[in-house]
Chain A
Amino acid sequence: MKLIESLKSTSIRVKLIFLFILTSTLIFGVNIYVYINLNAIINHVDEIYAGNVALTEMEETLEGVHSAMSEYLKTKNTDALEAYYRNVQDFSNQTMRLNQTISNNEEKVMEKTIRNLSESYLNMTNETVQAKRGRNIEKYVAGYENAARLFRYINTYIYSLNNEQFKDSSVNYNALLSSLRLSEYFSLSILVLIALFNAFLILLVTRSITHPLLELSKRADSVAKGELDVELMTVESKDEIGVLTSAFNKMVVSLREYIDQIRIRMELENAMKERELMMTTHLKDAQLKYLQAQINPHFLFNTLNAGAQLAMMEGADRTNKYIQNMADFFRYNVKKNNEKVTISQEIELVDSYIYILNVRFAGDIHFEKELDESLLDLTVPSMIIQPVVENSVNYGIRNIEWEGHIRVSLYREENSACICVEDNGIGISPEMITKIMNREISTSDVSADSNGVGLSNVINRLKLFFGREDIFTIESPGENLGTKATIRIPLDQDGEAGSQAGEESTGPEEEKEKH
């Protein structure tokens, strides 16, 4: 198990190398095993027949001794004598290896007999050779006969022993052969087993490599078909496939995340579009309501006109005039709010306003005009002079002890037409002027006497309409010394500036100036 665990954590390359080495080693081992067995058997065969080989050699040497002796006896040849001594030496050496003890092993007893007989034989041949040298004919002839007899005996013994040993060897050989056959079967079966085992091992390892790959490709196919919801594969090994698998898993996970993100973003976008749509709807609704709100003033003007006609028919001229002015003022307010108008129209509105106020406040306000007639047809944004006048009335002269004067002048100054509104009221401090010019003062509550258009609104609209910053100035010489507001309209272009004119807020903003 541990082996398999460690095998899992190794790379495919190492796995394959390990596999190759293992299978090769196994096959090699079996071969070695077979070879050792075979070698042992061959050695054994050698051992078994070693005795036979030695005996056969001995027989040949004995033959050599005897024939050399015979040759010497026949010819007295020195070569034969040399051969005789050489063979005797060999033969003695060979017989020395034979058993000497008395044993109940028949073959060993035979060896002993051969050894003793050989000794007697060599003695006899020596004597015979000596007799031949000494020319003792009788002795060497008798000696030769005895030696020949002994030679026959020894030969018979060697032959018989050889036979006996051969018989034993055959028995051994048969046993050996059967064991050889057996070992052959064993070797073969082990070889087959090993081969099967190897095949199995290779199958297992290659399967462990290919199986995850197949699995991976299956899932990759699924992913390719768009099924991102596939099961993540468990990473079982730490090899290349493991790396691949975890990379694949990561890819699938990040794909899912990515797609989730896209979905969320799309949902958000949809929601935003929906809101936008809602907003436009609301805007339209507001505009509608606004239009509806505009209808009522018309109704009011018509009603007021009806009132004025009634007053005229009844001969109430002042009432008629008052109602007429009031109706003009409101109509102007409604009609001209977003349009360009001439300065004369603006002056008329100021007249109506002053008239109404004088009616309301019993002629408290002394209104003067000094107008350059040539400039009266200049177009300006609507509702710019009346709010300035209103501001002078409300904050300049409302609560003063002396007689309030308001003076509106229109004159030419260099390339500008100047509209100047002066009062003799309480004046404005320089700090307040700065604040007003920077439009830092905002008022939330609408004055009861306001027509709804504030000073800052006027300044904004003028700046946007003419595209210049120095279009409006406020001056005040000091406390109780009055205020002078000047609008400078550039003249080189008929006073008609860019497209931004007139679209300013219609909201009821009003500047409240504290004194």
Chain B
Amino acid sequence: MRKSKPSGLPRKEKILSRILLSVTFIMLLATMVSLIFFRRQMRQVSKPSDAGERVYDKHYALIVDDPDDPMWDAVYQHMRAVGDEKNAYVERLGDNLASTYGKADLVRIAIESRVDGIILEGEESDEITALIYKAGLEGIPVVTVLHDCVGSGRVSFVGINNYSFGNEYGNLILKAATEIRANRSAQTDQEDSASSVEDVVRVLILLDGQSQDTSQSIVYAAVQENIEAAGDAAQKLVIDTERINATSVFRTEERIRDIVQNSENLPDIVVCLNEQNTASVYQTLVDQNKVGEIYVIGYFDSEMILHGIEKKGIYATVTIGAQQMGSYCVDALDEYVNTGYVSDYFPVDFTCINAENVEEYLKKGDGNETD
């Protein structure tokens, strides 16, 4: 009896079943992978940055005039760092509110929401004074920073010595004036013509038009005193002041532009007493291609200013120790909350940065606008 030879069917079926199995396996794998992927995605979504959350004992509120000022950014970062150490959370009050509140409203909110302490950029207004007083009554200590509010019952003040600050500016102005004169004499020697008028060095000090505290006048007074003390060198220095009103948002920028563009009364030295003005003046000079024609003496050590110094667009800048200021504020509050007592005044150091030492600040800064 002839037996059927092994036909191709079983072999084919074997291959087919193998394919079938592998397809099933792949599908199973795909399903698993997608399920895992999906779950992970879901978990990521459901996790609203709880990871780094920390609970604190105390809640301090920081209230300043211009929260967007890079200086305050730097100071706030340090406050947070020191606060973390002391188990206190420092909140930049009003930072993420939909509407912008003034300092007084913010202080009221701080009081009504019963924070454990307030760090306030002080001002010499009755309203603020009364609010600080009220906070004292409610048992909320207030530390003023940068600008004081005398007679308000604030527990402590952290800030610079305005007199020494002014002296530092005075020194810088004299130094710059000397350089300017030296440049001029070099030029006139070459051109063989002299003019006595050319010896006059014009200085423009930009003041904050809104500020109502006395610190600016103290600085200004110190500058003048310092220059007068220099004797002969001061004779041919013409000092002007310009109050820049920051009532509307872009006013500062426009006004500075006007001054720099007015070539007839172009100052030789421009002194800025805040970071924003410094940045505006420098930017305008760059735009107008007048870098080097005007000596800019600025304030604070933001990255932009440091780069300005590096490129000789800014002559020098005076900066306060943001880290020091931040830590002093939190320390002062913490000390008061814990003990009931604290020093009345914490002086903050300031330093002068010019082309000679800008390198080390740039290195240190490394994108972080602090010293």
Query: Which of B2, B24, B37, B105 is within 8 Å of A232, CB to CB?
Result: B2
Complex alpha-carbon distance, A503 and B135, angstroms: 167
Q: A103-B53, A120-B112 are in contact. Are A110 and B96 (CB under 8 A)?
A: yes
B38 nearest CB across to chain A (Å): 5
Set of chain B residues within 8 Å of A231, measured between Cβ atoms? 2-5
Set of chain B residues within 8 Å of A233, measured between Cβ atoms? 4
A45 nearest CB across to chain B (Å): 10
Complex alpha-carbon distance, A37 and B39, angstroms: 9
Q: Is A317's beta carbon under 8 Å from chain B?
A: no
Contact A44 B56, beta carbon cutoff 8 Å: no
Set of chain B residues within 8 Å of A186, measured between Cβ atoms? 30, 34, 37-38
Contact B38 A116, beta carbon cutoff 8 Å: no
Set of chain A residues within 8 Å of B95, measured between Cβ atoms? 106
Q: Is A157's beta carbon under 8 Å from chain B?
A: yes
Contact B97 A157, beta carbon cutoff 8 Å: yes
Contact B41 A47, beta carbon cutoff 8 Å: no
When each residue 88-106 of chain A gets 1 if its CB lies under 8 Å from chain B and 0 otherwise, what string results?
0000000000000111111
Q: Is A399's beta carbon under 8 Å from chain B?
A: no
- Determine, out of B13-21, B154-162, B183-191, B242-250, the stretch whose residues face the partner at the interface: B13-21
Query: Which of A120, A149, A160, A168 is within 8 Å of B48, CB to CB?
Result: A168
Contact B96 A106, beta carbon cutoff 8 Å: yes
Q: A104-B89, A182-B37, A236-B9 are in contact. Are A194 and B27 (CB under 8 A)?
A: yes
What interface size band does chain B fall in? 35 or more
Complex alpha-carbon distance, A197 and B24, angstroms: 8
Contact A102 B105, beta carbon cutoff 8 Å: no
Set of chain B residues within 8 Å of A190, measured between Cβ atoms? 27, 30-31, 34
When each residue 121-141 of chain A gets 1 if its CB lies under 8 Å from chain B and 0 otherwise, what string results?
100000000000000000000
Q: A104-B54, A253-B1 are in contact. Are A189 and B30 (CB under 8 A)?
A: yes
| B100 nearest CB neighbor, chain A only | A156
When each residue 151-185 of chain A gets 1 if its CB lies under 8 Å from chain B and 0 otherwise, what string results?
00100110110011000100010011011001100
Contact A33 B31, beta carbon cutoff 8 Å: yes
Q: Is A4's beta carbon under 8 Å from chain B?
A: yes
Set of chain B residues within 8 Å of A197, measured between Cβ atoms? 20, 23-24, 27
Contact B4 A103, beta carbon cutoff 8 Å: no
Q: Is B340's beta carbon under 8 Å from chain A?
A: no
Q: Is B195's beta carbon under 8 Å from chain A?
A: no
Complex alpha-carbon distance, A211 and B101, angstroms: 85
Set of chain B residues within 8 Å of A47, measured between Cβ atoms? 46
B112 nearest CB across to chain A (Å): 4
| B30 nearest CB neighbor, chain A only | A190
B370 nearest CB across to chain A (Å): 20
Q: List residues of chain A with CB under 8 Å of any chain B CB.
A: 1, 4, 33, 37, 40-41, 44, 47-48, 101-106, 108-110, 112-113, 116-117, 120-121, 149-150, 153, 156-157, 159-160, 163-164, 168, 172, 175-176, 178-179, 182-183, 186, 189-190, 193-194, 197, 200-201, 204, 208, 211, 229, 231-234, 236, 253
- Besides A156-B101, A179-B45, A190-B27, 8 other CB < 8 A contacts? A101-B55, A116-B112, A153-B105, A153-B109, A156-B99, A204-B20, A208-B13, A236-B10
